[in-house]
Structure 1
């Protein structure tokens, strides 16, 4: 009797990081078109530091454009603003920040984490309940591992652990490489906003590169037919 075929895994979805937001009006107008153009699972909102009331107002100005498109809105830090501003969660930098944030975010909101320099820290984050781990983002000195090192870390995580892993892609080429390595999501940001063709063209380009790399590495998966890493029993 033939073995039951293993369901094909879905292609990685996009995680779109915004520029640092001061005036949200332009971004609020731009986001609906972007979120329709590509399969964006979540938006990471980077807020310019100012008083809390102003930052909450900026989040509230952007939240409908993100959430009405079916994407999650996460704040880059600012855990204390998540609930008050109506965001879906926060991205934390490092294990200590994750541990501090978990009591206020869980179980209702998303707690993601990056800044994980070692495999041990990554495993500890997963054990403590992180909803995802991010590999490859720049550190405080704007340094980051090589593309090959990030891809290797993603592949290691994908093979061994349940929580989703995200690759921080600084280019279309990296987005493609991380998709092939087994990332569940690919974070794109600065290179999308800086593209002279416009953010929509850059984002759809990245999505196509991810889909092609995933198909080459894992085979074609129809939308909605893949399973998550926990399996379907």
Structure 2
């Protein structure tokens, strides 16, 4: 009997960078090219300050070249009606209902990712509905989130059983390391990067290093591509 072919090694998880809430895009337009050139960022999640649709569309269009020219995907936090109009690559939705409402607008050409999945059943429902990724560990509307161990457990469960990529929301470098080890395909970082007193570039590089350390501790086999 032929020996079972070993599974290919799991690619190193990639960074998924969430912006601060953006009102004036000019500072990000200036800083993003250098920031994205220095780290392996698969996608950027743009969080917009609410305003009129025309104003938000203008902010997306101002930032899109800096993101997409680096090879990263540009996703909008909600606001699915602006995605195609502004030339973004997709949207991140919160909760099953928001995902299901967005799928007819976004699919098949754009990415539809989802978070706000408080139960395993919700996660499986999202995967079956056609989510391009599931996010675990982000704060809820009250700023509360599961413990790092609980997030890592959910990531490991998903990575072992399901095909769509999973993303771990990391609030610290230790969490980035732990979630990469648990089987995350992507690690989302945000305020921990922008609020670092050393600057965003140094923080992003440290997050990437933590992910690589976590990956070296992991023996899981997983695909590692952000859907296009």
- TM-score strictly above 0.5: yes
Give distance in 2, aligned partners of 1:67 and 1:99.
26
SS of the residue corresponding to residue 117 of structure 2 reads: coil
Would you say the 8 A contact 2:185–2:223 is kept in 1? no
Would you say the 8 A contact 2:20–2:194 is kept in 1? yes
Instruction: State the superposition RMSD in angstroms.
Output: 1.5
* Aligned positions of 1:213-224 closer than 5 A: 213-218=214-219
1:205 aligns with 2:196: no
Give distance in 1, aligned partners of 2:77 and 2:52.
16
Give distance in 2, aligned partners of 1:193 and 1:74.
18
Give distance in 2, aligned partners of 1:82 and 1:133.
19
* 2:109 corresponding residue in structure 1: 108
* 2:223 corresponding residue in structure 1: 228
Shift in Å at residue 3 of structure 1? Answer: 4.6
SS of the residue corresponding to residue 188 of structure 2 reads: strand
* 1:122 corresponding residue in structure 2: 123
Give distance in 2, aligned partners of 1:209 and 1:153.
19
Give distance in 2, aligned partners of 1:89 and 1:229.
18
- 1:75-118 deviations in Å (ceiling 9; x for gaps): 00000000000000000000000000000000000000000011
| Runs of 4+ displaced beyond 6 Å | none
Would you say the 8 A contact 2:12–2:211 is kept in 1? yes
Shift in Å at residue 228 of structure 1? Answer: 2.0
Give distance in 2, aligned partners of 1:213 and 1:229.
15
* 1:222 corresponding residue in structure 2: none
Give distance in 2, aligned partners of 1:8 and 1:162.
16
* 1:76 corresponding residue in structure 2: 77
* 2:44 corresponding residue in structure 1: 43
Which residues of structure 2 form unaligned runs of 5+? none
Give distance in 2, aligned partners of 1:198 and 1:205.
11
- 1:50-92 deviations in Å (ceiling 9; x for gaps): 0110000000000000000000000000000000000000000
* 2:150 corresponding residue in structure 1: 149
Shift in Å at residue 7 of structure 1? Answer: 1.3
Which residues of structure 1 form unaligned runs of 5+? 220-225
Would you say the 8 A contact 1:40–1:71 is kept in 2? yes
1:16 aligns with 2:17: yes
Give distance in 2, aligned partners of 1:120 and 1:139.
18
TM-score, with length taken from structure 1: 0.93
With 149-158 and 4-13 compared, the bigger mean Cα shift is at 4-13
1:188 aligns with 2:189: yes
